[in-house]
Structure 1
Amino acid sequence: MLGDVLPAEAFAFLLITVRMAALVMVVPVFSESSIPQRMRVAFAMALSLVIYPVVSKVLPPMPANVLVLAGLFIKELTIGLILGLTIRLLMSAIHVAGTIIAFQTGLAAAQTFDPSQGSQSVLVASFFNLLAIVLILVTNLHHMMLTGMVFSYQKFPVGEAIPVADFATITTQYVSSSFALGFQMAAPFIVYGMIYNLGLGLVARMVPGFQVFFIGMPINLFMGFALIMVLMGSIMKYFLQNFQSLLEAMIG
């Protein structure tokens, strides 16, 4: 009797761990490169152990065929990756907004390595990304992400076919929404950039011998820092509202 129970329990635990590990490795905050991989794996296993009593009731029995077993693990890995990437897509709005702000304010030359993007990025975008992660933790939105991981078993039950068409539609919507959100957050700086460049053009046209860029660049940097200081709170609040809406939609 015990020989039949232990393999079934191990199968259920591993099935949960596969989806949780994929989510933890991709979802924002938990998947940051500053967190060691061993800690992320340990957190995924601990999370699987915690939600196991709740989720194990809706899991299918262990299949006798090895190919069917491998197919279940692949489906769970795919669902976890897609769900995690869907949440991460909205985080790219911060990168888009920071990049636009840097180019509009003359700060694009200051670049550093951005762990969230895995490449060089403007300093403003990296700063906004770190600030967004801190605010997500402070406002306990990471708790909603953990709740969404558990509720994913209701929306995407184990063993059913992967809704490829639905995932493709949702991914397309979130890609466009993330770029739109990034432009919305950077809208005041876009307006400022248009007015600033138009003013420089008019000054250069009326006074041809005046060195507009020699005077204009320090003014642009000063105004850029001033606008970031004034609007940063509103930008982050607007981002957190949209991020929370995404998590609430996932929880349902």
Structure 2
Amino acid sequence: MFAMLRYAPLLAIPAFSSVAWAPPMIRMVLLMAVAWLTVIAAPSLTPMPYWSDGGGLLLACSSELLIGMTFGLAIMLPQAGIGMAASVADMQAGLSAASLLDPGGQHEPETLLGSLLLLAAVVLFFTLNLHVQLFHLMAESLRVLPLGAVGLRLDPEAFMAMVGSSFLLGLMVVAPLMIGLFAVDLAVAYATRSMPQANVYFLALPLKIAAALLLLAATLAYVPALIERVFQDALARLPSVFGA
């Protein structure tokens, strides 16, 4: 039960899981399998006295769930940072207007660059074996934070540093794109001042979209390394979040 609670945010809870796209039955089977392997590989545990008490057992379960949520946030925060930066670039390029004409949308605005980079982030997460590194960290956490222990101490300052770093590094993924589009905006602003009678915005919109796609194609070779850096930084900050 303790092992399932520790892995539940990563494998079963859609808000934190990186495999939320998988069917619920697959996620539950994977959760039980990983929890069982964890119990087999974990060192022998002595039952704690507070496990027999309702309040102590609830506190131990809450501690395990909090550990799993922290590991889940180490994956969700980089994705949120990349998605936020891509959404800003989408808005800057004018591609966000496409969500107004999307008949298949489920009342949730989706951006072209955001969806593209998030899909690339999911693929790279498994291609670069970052999921293996994540589960190595969780296996190491069994030695530092045994199952059912209540001695969890989270560092709020380290957690906020992980949040800020994830969004800052996510912004670096699309920084060349945003700088190039800013230069296009300056040229469009100059043209607007020169020809106030023309509707330069709609005339320049195809130019901005073309510039965004060209800049994305030009920087595509550097995107995998940048996305890996976002995830690696979040995973490297996990020990400090747990007070190590």
Which range, TM-score by smaller chain?
0.7 to 0.9
Deviations 1:126-179, CA, capped at 9 Å, x for gaps: 121111101111122111112122112234334132214x1x223211221122
Aligned residue-pair number: 234
Which protein shows a greater Rg?
A: 1
Question: CA separation in 2, counterparts of 1:29 and 1:72?
Answer: 20
Question: CA separation in 1, counterparts of 2:214 and 2:43?
Answer: 54
Contact 1:26–1:81 (Cα < 8 Å) also in 2? no
List runs of 5+ in structure 1 lacking aligned partners: 1-13
1:33 counterpart = 2:20: yes
Question: CA separation in 2, counterparts of 1:26 and 1:174?
Answer: 21
Question: CA separation in 1, counterparts of 2:192 and 2:32?
Answer: 63
* Equivalent residue for 2:2, pick from 1, 12, 15: 15
1:176 counterpart = 2:164: yes
> Equivalent residue of 1:102, what SS?
helix
Which range moves more in the overlay, 149-158 or 224-233? 149-158
Aligned position for 1:237: 225
1:162 counterpart = 2:152: yes
1:99 counterpart = 2:87: yes
1:61 counterpart = 2:66: no
Change in 2 beyond 3 A, CA 1:178/1:243? same
Contact 1:114–1:126 (Cα < 8 Å) also in 2? no
TM-score (norm 1): 0.81
Deviations 1:173-231, CA, capped at 9 Å, x for gaps: 12211221222222212212221111112122233444423431111111111111121
Change in 2 beyond 3 A, CA 1:205/1:71? closer
List runs of 5+ in structure 2 lacking aligned partners: none
Contact 1:152–1:250 (Cα < 8 Å) also in 2? no
1:131 counterpart = 2:120: yes
1:207 counterpart = 2:164: no
The alpha carbon displacement at 1:26 in A equals: 5.1
Residue correspondence of structure 1 range 215-226 to structure 2 within 5 A: 215-226=203-214
TM-score (norm 2): 0.83
Contact 1:26–1:85 (Cα < 8 Å) also in 2? no
